[in-house]
Amino acid sequence: MKSPKVWTAMTAGAVVLSLGLSACGGGDDGDGEGGSAATKFDAGSNGIVNPSDKKGGVLRMGMSDDFDSTDPGDTYYAFGNNFVRLYSRTLMTYTSKPGADSNKPSPDLAEAAGVPSDGNKTWTFKLKKGLKYEDGSEIKAEHIKYAVARTYDRGVLSHGPAYFPQLLDAGDYKGPYKNKNLDDFKGIETPDDYTVVFKLKDPFPEFNELVTFSGQTAPVPPDKDKGAQYRLHPLSSGPYKWEGDYQPKKGGVLVRNENWDASTDPNRKALPDRIEITAGLEANEVDNRLLNGQLHVDLPGSGVQDAARQKILTDPKLKANADNPYAGFHWYVPISTVNIPNVECRKAIVYAADRDAMWRAYGGDVGGERSTSIQPPIIAGRQKGTDLYTSTAAGYKGDVNKAKEALQACGQPNGFSTTMVYRSDRPKEKAVAEALEQSLGKAGIKLTLKGYPAGTYTAEQFGSPSFVKKEKIGLGTYGWAADWPTGYGYLQAISDGKAIVPAGNSNPSELDDPEINKMWNDVVKLDDAAQREAIYNQIDQKIREKAAILPNVYAKSLLYRPQTLANVYFHAGFGMYDYANLGVTG
């Protein structure tokens, strides 16, 4: 028997081959129709491809996996938050525009952005009047309060973000499933049916951004809540509603919600009449169907598989239908401040790293860009910064001499040994680990590589401080994307000492630096976004000064848009196409 690796390679090869054949038949027919000018590679990254206001048609979306949840209060994935906009309106939502503007919060159920008072500790939102659910009943302030209250029960709604329980001043409120009396939930006040007032424990200046990024302020009428089963048919407040129930791991169908009023909603064009979702497709099958037009959208929005990628990049016709935007992820390498406490030793690692090989591991230009700052380019106010202990110059292979000097300063002139972990089922991360093993070895830093399955890696291995300590893990591959595109949204969870948790820890460096912690404490008191951004950039710089993170690559994804897909543009807030504004032609 051949090894699984060989078979995988053979399969990939065969699929590439077949895609080549399919291209001959499938590629041409779109050119004549649609009326729009011929599209260019990456045209959707900064502008609208195939702009359209034409209603009608069936939009088909597919994915190889499934949503974490279709309950707007219980999804965390960016594509989930993007998708629930089709049937859920929230207090605020992202602006639906191509380019950098899409990062900005825009009122949705609210008339205007939330107004802070009490030194950013109280946030008040006024609702538009006359908004309705799919059943014709009216959307009320209390329903939003209830929706937020639900997110307190992490047993029933375990997937979604947990910002509200952390920020709101609600004592030890346990959620509406354990305590049926909503009046006991003091974190939100609803003085009337159209006013929602959030009461925070501490000042939090980016509350509008927080409310924008997730579906957790989508209203839920308490008498319609089905707890854990609400996800099967969340009551629609948006342009579409579920036809029947969503079937987890299989899919479902969205049809128009006649009770949605387009005039109140500038952010959703809602062009197709019907949207069909298929979950659980084999990953290459998703690409195949995308390339032959059977599917319009690969829901997770993280780009095509290797087989299709090769095909698209080598065929100009296909390539013209692809975009290569920043995906929002930064693939970097956290260095454990616990197992390598001496900053000089950490610096030695950064000095010795072969950035060229690490970048190539992600596929070169199409895979991403060599990174300087920790924050990726789509973060508002992010500064590119300058290279610290490393270089983004093309072909930079690391600096062994500087690394040895740092080792000297660290008191380990002969180098040291440590363990590097990576996700064994991600060949790119494995290649990064191997590149580092090579280049660090030249400076005398001996790496032992260990791979773990992606399914448990961030929860149980690299994401578990006790595991990291026990296994003496010095560094590992990692990737991070912001919950919302500000410096806070990106950096806080990976650099604030408070963010360190026993499992699923997103700060694997375990950076718990008094200076940085203080900056996090203080920055939330600043009202001015520009001032805050300046601090974020300082924190970014500090993380690198402390050599807690070795930067690598700002990820770029390769997204394919079939020619029958209209009104397509990359949305920086979600890091993929804007699903609420897609249309179909033909």
Partner 1 sequence: MIAFIVRRLLSAVVLMFIITAVTFGIFFLVPKAAGVSEDDLAARFAGKSPTPEALAQVKERLSLDEPLPVQYGRFVKAIVAGDSYDTGVSEVECSAPCLGYSFRTSTPVLDEILDRAPVTLSLAVGAAVIWVIVGVSIGVLSALRRGSLFDRAAMAVALAGVSLPVFFTGLLSLAFIVHAWGLLPSVDYKPLTQDPAAWASSLILPWITLAFLYAAMYARLTRAGMLETMNEDYIRTARAKGLPERTVVTKHGLRAALTPLLTIFGLDFGLLVGGAVLTERAFSLKGLGQLSLDGVIQSDLPVVLGVVLFAALFVVLANLVVDVLYGVVDPRVRHS
Positions that interact with partner 1 (CB under 8 A): 1, 7, 10-11, 14-15, 17-19, 21-22, 25, 68, 76, 150, 153-156, 158-162, 165-166, 175-177, 225-232, 248-250, 280-282, 284-285, 288-289, 291-292, 294, 455-456, 459-460, 463-464, 466-467, 470, 483, 493, 499, 501-506
On whether the CB atoms of residues 23 and 321 are closer than 8 A, the answer is no
Q: How far is the CB of 208 from partner 1 (least distance, A)?
A: 21
Q: Measured from the CB atom, is 176 or 398 closer to partner 1?
A: 176
Name the residue nearer to partner 1 (CB basis): 285 or 306: 285
C-beta of 484: minimal distance to partner 1 in Å?
A: 13
Query: What distances in angstroms separate CA 500 from CA 315, 420, 542, one per listed residue?
Result: 46, 20, 18
Residues 551-561: b if buried by 16+ CB within 10 A, e if exposed: bbbbbbbbbbb
DSSP label of 200: B
Kindly report the CA angle at 462 between 460 and 463, in degrees rounded to 5? 60
Rounded least distance, CB 190 to partner 1, Å: 21
Q: Whose Cβ is closer to partner 1: residue 463's or residue 583's?
A: 463
Closest by Cα among 541, 243, 272, 253 to 386? 541
Task: Report H helices in 496-562.
Answer: 514-523, 529-545
* Adjacent-strand bridge partners of 335: 475
Which is closer to partner 1, CB of 22 or CB of 417?
Answer: 22
Asked whether the beta carbons of 70 and 226 are under 8 A apart, the reply is no
The residue (of 56 and 502) whose beta carbon lies closer to partner 1 is 502
Give Cα 153 to chain centroid, integer Å.
23
Smallest separation (angstroms) from partner 1 to the CB of 113: 25
Q: At its nearest, how many Å lie between partner 1 and the CB of residue 137? A: 18
Give residue 190's identity as a one-letter amino acid code. T
Residue given tokens 């197709």 in the structure block: 272
d(CA 547, CA 328): 22
Of 98, 557, 561, 579, the residue nearest 320 (C-alpha): 561
Q: Smaller CB distance to partner 1: residue 52 or 461?
A: 461
Cβ 276 to partner 1, closest distance in Å?
11
Nearer to partner 1, 304 or 443 (CB): 304
CB of 242 to partner 1, least distance (A): 15
Task: Compute φ and ψ for 377, nearest 5 degrees.
Answer: -60, -25
Q: Shortest gap between Cβ of 143 and partner 1 (angstroms)? A: 15
549-556/446-452 β-pairing: unpaired
Contact 127, 196 (CB under 8 A): yes
**Residue 483: CB minimum distance to partner 1, A:** 8
Nearer to partner 1, 10 or 58 (CB): 10
Closest CB to partner 1 among 116 and 165? 165
* Helix or strand (DSSP H, E) at 307: helix 306-314
> Which own/partner pairs from 15-22 qualify as long-range (CB within 8 Å, at least 24 positions apart)?
15/284, 15/288, 15/307, 16/307, 16/310, 16/311, 19/287, 19/288, 19/291, 19/307, 19/308, 19/311, 20/311, 20/315, 22/288, 22/291, 22/292
Give 77 or 326: the residue with its C-beta nearer to partner 1: 77
Least distance from partner 1 to the Cβ atom of residue 87, Å: 18
